[in-house]
Chain A
Amino acid sequence: MPGLSRRAFLVTSAAVSGGLSVGFPLAFAAGRERAAETAAGVEIDAWVVVRPDETVVVRIARSEMGQGTLTGLAQLVAEELECDWSKVTTEYPTPGQNVARDRVWGNFSTGGSRGIRESHLYVRQGGAAAREMLVRAAAEGWKAPVTECRVSKGVITHQPTGRKTTYGKVAAAAAKLQPPKEVALKDPKDWTIAGQGLKRLDTAPKVTGKQIYGIDLALPGMLVAAIRDCPVIGGKIKSFDATKIAGMPGVKRVVPVDDSGVAVIADTFWHAKTAIDALPVVWDEGPGATVSSASIATLLAEGLTAQEAYVGNKAGDAAAAIAGAAKTVEAVYSYPYQSHATMEPMNATALYTPDKCEVWAPTQNGEAALATAAEAAELPVSKCDVYKMLLGGGFGRRGRSDYVRQVVLIAKQMPGTPIKLIWTREQDMTHDAYHPISQCKLTGGLDAEGRLVALKMRLSGQSILASLAPQSLQNGMDPVVFQGLNAGGAESAFGYEIPNLLIDHAMRNTHITAGFWRGVNTNHNAIYVECFIDELAHASGQDPLEFRRKMLKPRHLEVLNAVAERAGYGKAPPGRHHGLAQIMGFGSYVAACSEVSVGPDGKVTIHKIVAATNPGYAVNPAQIERQVAGSFVYGLSAMLYGQCTVKDGAIEQTNFDTYTVLHMDEMPEVEALILPTGGFWGGVGEPTIAVAAPSVLNAVFQATGKRIRAIPLAQHDLKSA
């Protein structure tokens, strides 16, 4: 692997999946000596291929999983390229090509709402450089100065003479030119393709059934595998009796997978699944088997008062100020494990031979999948590649490559035969990397005038980095747990100015794997902070909006004011109630005002949520609106119903009958206000999710006087007394 040791590569991939930003040397033309004119078109630079029929192929490094990053990134390239949007199509370079070309496409990892905000600069440069080369090629053809040439929609005009040519015609000549050393980018004010609410590029095959997802892949001679992994994470297989299923229809092989799983390889998935369900397996469940939800709750509760904790944000002397406060308020909140439950269960396909390993995978992290495949195949990275398939949902789950490792280990036991591994929903839900579990104890001190003079916030719970990327911990501390709570910075700052503040984290890990789940730690942090701020407002007899206004930093306040105004805060129709929340996450400022009613039977109806997002720049407002509304379904499903509980060390929920999610009938009207102020680049796939739950919970309090502090809501009785 050029310029990067394998070890460093693995570590880098892990660090990236940990949401830490890693800088890469970027050169959009690196390795372009490999560019060649083919039937597929001419590569102008790494990001742009032009075909003779004027089709422009934009290369996309990040993974599309429904969030629209493919369309947004293409818009940014096309904007600078000045091509005809109606002729734009896209393709994924493979992670193997990226490695072979000195990582010319930068980071493939797609998580943390980083797809656009961390690659906008170099993809726009890639588009601009290609434009310059194409125009220069035309100018040289005409023996005219470049300054006399203009381009619009892929048509280049020599202004003095009116001569015209097109990108398709000059592409071959352009590809032979030296790329420019520097390019100037447009002012976003002048955007005509980026910044517009254009339709997605990838819709048509999704409505006809023609779209091929990973689970749909068919290769000649392919067999299908189903797997059973120890129900208790960390447990192992003691034995399995393959003879019991040997005669079942379609069964070809029964193979071990690492020391914790066993797979059946069969001619069809149904045969493989039927056989694996019938396979007698004896487990050695290991120490995790003694763990239950109750024991985890006890562990976390101990952390709430433990002496030692990692400090995330500190100002003044919170303890002293609370001791001297006119009034103090204290509360304990909790948030359970959540499953990703992507609509398409985990799957991947591998073809292994002793000197090559190819993997087809729906993955959010192509390079990590490649490193995992190489390691499992015991082959050099240069002899492996990963072909990224469209993801049937990701939400953070597919940044992890456990299923890639499994399919390679299975395929290795049948060299030369492509094997597609499909997890059942049950395997998927019980072997997730779950939204981490946590509890939080908050103490606020108010002075005689009702000002919040001190806030102590003790988080106790699981660390995602400790589960997935322990090498990214900083002296044992997981900085990601403080999302939305940091003292400052461009990523996820705490919104309130409070003179005495202490936010710290008692890390309490369990054998259950914690993972990145859309919104990550902002999901519970927003509930803890925003519901408790509400409690403080009520305790001091102040309106929750006015109370917040006194303390919020300007950018945070802007979005909160916007939703309050748009929703007519405080003037809800009879029987309905408003609740507010704000946070900063993934580089963006977000706020929501929910309108809720609660029936005498305790039934909660969420009528409407007005949500504001300031992502700095909005590359496609129509898709951002869809991300906001869609993320609310995900976040509210968790808040209303979601919890993965643990019994005898195993996750109890196995499918959508026990892990309830929000359906059409409970979908509130969502009005998304996209309020980009410019000046910074924030994410859009995740930040807004966090304000849905606390704004609804605060509205529920307005409606009932009942303060919900333990998620999910469904376990509480809200019947009128």
Chain B
Amino acid sequence: MASLTVNGKAYTIDVEPDTPLLWVLRDNLGLTGTKYGCGIGQCGSCTVHIDGVATRSCSVPVGSIEGQKIVTIEGLAKGDVLHKVQKAWIEHDVPQCGYCQSGMIMAVAALLKDKPQPTDAEINSEITNICRCGTFQQVRQAIHAAAKA
């Protein structure tokens, strides 16, 4: 059994406590916006916010986060109002296949909370998500645009 709060809703789920949060989100809660890319904390596709901190959910056992607040890509917008990062992503036509972008957007949203005007160097050290389509150039432009928004 695990109790957790995801996107403002409380859930009690019947799973083994060592199940990675990623698979609880995807398989048990049907929140498939959070993606599986590597399962070992390397790619960032599975990034969510846990108590506001960008975290790779494939590497977090669900039993270790009792009571913490989880926000996934599905919970980033406020109702119909997209988060400024999502808006910048649309404005700059960032996604190609889009598979990595949930994690990318969640990582960037957390970065902008900590560092509202990140430098290129800060972007480089903080945004370590893998994108095999290679959208990094658009990602960088869109981060700067979101920072100004």
A residues sitting closer than 8 Å to B (CB atoms) are 65-68, 199-200, 202-204, 206-213, 215-216, 218, 224, 249, 268-270, 341-345, 390-395, 422, 424-425, 622-623, 626, 629-634, 655-657, 661-665, 667, 669-670
Contacts and interface: CB of A to CB of B under 8 A. Distances in A.
Contact of B38 (A67, A210, A249, A655): A655
Contacts of B90: 199, 203-204, 207
Contact of A208 (B19, B74, B99): B74
Contact of A392 (B19, B98, B137): B98
A431 to B, nearest CB: 16
Contact of B124 (A631, A632, A664): A664
A623 B135 CA distance: 11
A218 B131 contact: no
A66 B97 contact: yes
Interface string B57-84: 0000000000000001110110000100
A626 B134 CA distance: 8
A656 B97 contact: no
A654 to B, nearest CB: 9
Interface residues of B, number: 58
Contacts of A66: 95-99, 133
A665 B97 contact: no
Contacts of A68: 96
A631 B74 contact: no
A630 B124 contact: no
Nearest to A665: B124
B132 interface: yes
B37 A207 contact: no
Given A203-B95, A209-B102, A224-B27, A425 B128 contact: no
B55 interface: no
Contacts of B36: 215, 269, 345, 422
A629 to B, nearest CB: 5
Contacts of A206: 95, 98, 101
Residue from the set B38, B95, B123 with the largest chain A CB neighbour count within 10 Å: B38
Nearest to B41: A657
5 contacts: A206-B95, A216-B26, A218-B30, A268-B23, A629-B137
A65 B97 CA distance: 5
A626 B138 contact: yes
A209 B74 contact: yes
A698 B66 CA distance: 54
B37 A425 contact: yes
B139 A207 contact: no
A503 B124 CA distance: 43
A664 B128 contact: yes
A249 B16 contact: yes
A341 B130 CA distance: 11
Given A211-B98, A270-B23, A632 B32 contact: no
Contact of A343 (B74, B97, B139): B97
A207 B100 CA distance: 10
Contacts of B37: 343-345, 425, 656
B18 to A, nearest CB: 9
Counting from the closest, the 9 A-B pairs by CB-CB distance are A209-B33, A633-B134, A66-B97, A206-B98, A392-B99, A630-B134, A66-B96, A209-B73, A665-B124
A392 B100 CA distance: 8
A424 B28 CA distance: 19
B96 A207 contact: no
